[in-house]
Amino acid sequence: MPILGLNIDHVATLREARYRDWKSGLAPEPSVIEAARVAEHAGVASITVHLREDRRHIQEADVRLISREISIPLNLEMAATAAMTRQALRFKPEEVCLVPENRQEVTTEGGLEVASDIARLKTVVQKLTRAKIKVSAFIDADLKQVDAAHRIGAQVVELHTGVYANATTIKARNKELARHGRAAAHAHELGLRVNAGHGLHYGNVREYIEDVPHLHTLNIGHSIISRAVFVGLHQAVREMMTLIRSQQPSPNAD
Ligand code: PXP
């Protein structure tokens, strides 16, 4: 049974909608560190933040604070650039997830093209691995990309579930589930840890878990933060954990 990692980027999105100059001394809300604390208390296994090059939501100060004050692992999503690698080496998160980045996109639209960029990505992975940071590659569920992630020395692949989440017919969804099943099995055979995320929500997560083997962590953000608007973050997290586990939440996390 996979564990849940919570992506809290959209707590920062809401903050930035009002407090773009929050470094000015105002107390901006909602607080990203508070969100991380609530999520930790609710029982998530890790916190994910994406430090985008355009800093549209998460800021360096958020990453610094979370890495200092949260005891569960921090998974830092970032573009595989020299500048971001330097930042990661300063923050020393437990895990870095390399993602493609395009300033125009609303959210990460596809997996990282690893297969055609092996030499450059291998260098980035080596630098991070030397600093004892586990590296994950966010890839499409494609055997060629799984092989490439293994070649660059990543220890983890995160399978991009966006196409599955956006499929509008049962046939298209089943095709995606089969593709993810093959990619996950292949990654596992190569000794890679298998994570998944993007577009997973309360209505599609069970089917994904049931069909795709070897899942370690599901990284989910938007749907949990959206649900939190109505029921609070603690409950939104617990509801997702209950779905993932398909059993009652353990009482000692409350
Ligand atoms: N994993 C990765 C690599 C992502 O880029 C994102 C989106 O920022 C997620 C997981 C979470 O996606 P969502 O917000 O759709 O749950």
- Look at residue 254 and tell me if it is in a domain: no
- Look at residue 152 and tell me if it is in a domain: yes
Q: List, for residues 227-241, the tens digit of each pLDDT value.
A: 999 999 999 999 999
How many other β-carbons are positioned within 10 Å of the β-carbon of residue 169? 8
Q: Residue 110: give its domain's CATH number.
A: 3.20.20.70
Q: Report d(CA 236, CA 230) in Å as an integer.
A: 9
Pocket mutation for ligand 1, best pick of 219, 220, 226, 240 (most atoms within 8 Å of C-beta): 219
- Look at residue 18 and tell me if it is in a domain: yes
Q: Report d(CA 154, CA 105) in Å as an integer.
A: 25
Q: How many domains does the chain have?
A: 1
Q: Which H or E run includes 197? A: strand 193-197
Instruction: Give the ligand 1 atom nearest the CA of 195.
Output: 1
- Look at residue 170 and tell me if it is in a domain: yes
Q: List, for residues 99-110, the tens digit of each pLDDT value.
A: 998 756 666 678
Q: List, for residues 184-237, the tens digit of each pLDDT value.
A: 999 999 999 999 999 999 999 999 999 999 999 999 999 999 999 999 999 999
- Left (φ > 0), alpha (ψ -120 to 50) or beta: where does 217 sit? beta
- Per DSSP, 144 falls in state H
83: burial class by Cβ within 10 Å (0-12, 13-18, 19+)?
Answer: exposed
Instruction: Give the ligand 1 atom nearest the CA of 138.
Output: 3
Q: Report d(CA 53, CA 7) in Å as an integer.
A: 17
**Closest protein CA for atom 6 of ligand 1:** 198
Ligand 1 centroid from CA 109, angstroms: 10
- Per DSSP, 25 falls in state S
| Residue 7: domain span | 3-245
- Look at residue 253 and tell me if it is in a domain: no
- Look at residue 133 and tell me if it is in a domain: yes
Residues 195, 159 contacting (CB under 8 angstroms) = yes
Name the band, by pLDDT with cuts 50, 70 and 90, for residue 122: very high
Residue positions annotated with a catalytic role: 50, 77, 198
Q: Which H or E run includes 158? A: strand 156-160
**Closest protein CA for atom 3 of ligand 1:** 138
- Look at residue 252 and tell me if it is in a domain: no
Instruction: Give the ligand 1 atom nearest the CA of 199.
Output: 15
- What is the reported pTM? 0.93
- Look at residue 65 and tell me if it is in a domain: yes
